[in-house]
Amino acid sequence: MRQFSANLGFLWQDLPLPDAIRAAKSAGFDAVECHWPYDTPAAETRQALEETGLAMLGINTIRGNPGENGLAALPGRETEARAAIDQALDYAKEIGAGAVHVMAGFATGPQAHATFVENLCYAADRAPDLTILIEPLNRHDAPNYFLTTTDQAREIIAETGKPNVKLMFDCYHIGRTEGDVTTRFRALQPLVGHVQFASVPDRGIPDQGELNFAHIFAQIAAAGWTRPLGAEYKPGRPTGETLGWMDALRG
């Protein structure tokens, strides 16, 4: 049976993180993930995870200053970027999370590329037992974000030469930017460290929109993926009222 992870950056946003973890367990999720848990002491997060038996699959590095969307590809900001990486890696280790998404930020050009690669190598070397994720974001939601396509991500991953640097395959972002989601997954599967999903184009509940997730999830499973799929959608109303898709898509 297919497994799902609740992304608590979007789901149960009205609850403190430990209570959101408990709500995800009660709703039948198999794991959780989040964006920026740092306002919650790691001990409290770990306690909720241990209490529920859920794993925290991953967290993000901080965005930076107001209006920013990550630091790791910003030339001249390496000290801040690595402090953000250290913060995320330390928190992840304290709570037993398996991955850290290193956010690139708004940048462009070869110097940004080189800076991103260097910072990813730093993260990968500092935590060889964790997965370091990078995620292409679509141009509609994140204009001017450095990392925009899976081809660019593949090049960067190859350049790092680090086996624990992987791709966050977000069906929503890829659906909006590139399309052909199942073909892209099959081509990129050896590089994929986590899968996320939401409807296209509104990033809403995954039982409507342009993508047929029953088909997509069946194809992902046929390709050999057995780990939880991350529900990172905007519920638009109380999360508990939006979970009818889970039974239909369990497979």
What residues act catalytically?
135, 232
Please tell me the distance from the alpha carbon of residue 143 to that of residue 157, in angstroms, as a whole number. Answer: 22
Residue 213: CA count within 13 A, CB half-sphere: 27
Q: Is the peptide bond before 201 cis (omega within 30 degrees of 0)?
A: yes
Coil, strand or helix: which one is 179? Answer: coil
The answer to whether the CB of 33 falls within 8 A of the CB of 59 is yes
Please tell me the distance from the alpha carbon of residue 242 to that of residue 229, in angstroms, as a whole number. Answer: 17
Which residues, 6+ apart, have CB-to-CB distance to 113 below 8 Å?
73, 146, 156
